[in-house]
Amino acid sequence: MKYTIKNQQVSYGEAMGILLLDSVIPFIPGDVANATTYDFPVRFKKIPGFSVARAVGKDDTVYEDLLTAARDLAANGVRAVTGDCGFMALHQQRLQQDLGLPVFLSSLLQIPFIRHLVPVGTGIGIITADSQGLTPAFLEKIKIPPGPDLVIQGLETCPEFAAAVLTEKGSLDADKIQDEVTAAARSLRTQGVGAILLECSVLPPYARAVHQATGLPVFDYITMINYVFHALEPHRYRGFM
C-alpha cells in the first residue's frame, strides 16, 4: 500500500480532536481530557485563556481563539471536533460552518436521540455542573427544544465538585464526587426520569456508579464521542459463518 503526506503533518492516526478549556482540574481516567479514556488515539488542543468561568459565563468573545484551536486540530488531521465543556456549545453552529468538519461540542446534543428511547411520560434527568447556566434560552441556542421532560440537577452547591471543578482548587476526591453525583441521580430517579444524561465532561468516570444507583441508562460525553468515532471509522468485522 502506498501512503502520501497530508497537510505537512508530523503525526497521524488521530481522527478525533478535542478542544480543552484552559483549566487546572485533575483529569482522571474516564474524563474527556484524559487520553486513557479512549480505545483509540485522540488529539487535544487547549484554548488559551478560555477558563471554566468564561465557559460557564457563556463568554462569546472567546470564539476567535476557539476557532484558531479547532483549525489547528483540523490541520493536524482530525476529522471531527468535540470539546471538554458543554457550555462550548454556545459556539456549535458557528464553528460547524467555519471549520467544515463534523462538530459536536456538548453531550446535550444526544437529547433528541434519548427522547426517542425513553417511554412516553418519562423524562430525561440531566446532571450538570451549573444548573443556573442550563437555561431554556441556552438550550434553544444550541437547537435543543426545552421542555418539562428535561429535569435538571446542578452540582454547583456540592462541596467537593464545586471546589475541584468550578473553583479549581488543584485536587479532586473522586470518591466524594461520586457520592455527590449518585445522590443527584437518585433524586432525579424519584422524579420519574427514564434516563440520565451526565452533561459535564468531568462526570463520565461516575457513569457506572450512577447506573448502579438508579438502574437507568446513562449517557455522557464518552457515549457521544465513541458513537461519532465509530461513524468516522466503522468497525471491520471478522468472524465466520
For 55-70, write each residue's pLDDT tens digit.
888 888 999 999 999 9
Q: What is the architecture of the domain spanning 16-106+225-232?
A: 3-Layer(aba) Sandwich (3.40)
Q: Which range has the worst mean pLDDT, 6-10, 22-26, 27-31, 154-158?
A: 6-10
Amino acid at 43: R
Model pTM?
Answer: 0.94
Q: How confident is the model at residue 106 (pLDDT cuts 50, 70, 90)?
A: very high
Residue 153's pLDDT is: 96
| Strand order from edge to edge, sheet including 123-128 | 150-154, 123-128, 193-198, 218-219
* Count helices and strands in the chain by DSSP H and E runs: 9, 7
Q: In the chain, which residues fall in CATH 3.40.50.1860?
A: 16-106+225-232, 107-220
**Which residues, listed in sequence order, are joined to residue 19 by a DSSP beta bridge?**
45, 83
> What dotted CATH number matches 107-220?
3.40.50.1860
Task: Inform me whether the pLDDT recorded for 144 exceeds 90.
Answer: yes
- pLDDT recorded at residue 4: 86
CA atoms within 13 A on the CB side of 94: 12
Which 3 state secondary structure label does DSSP give 72?
Answer: helix
| Lowest-confidence pick of 49-63, 147-161, 224-238 | 49-63
Average per-residue pLDDT in the chain?
Answer: 95
pLDDT tier for residue 95 given thresholds of 50, 70 and 90: very high
Query: What value does the mean pLDDT take over residues 74-78?
Result: 95
pLDDT given at position 150 = 97
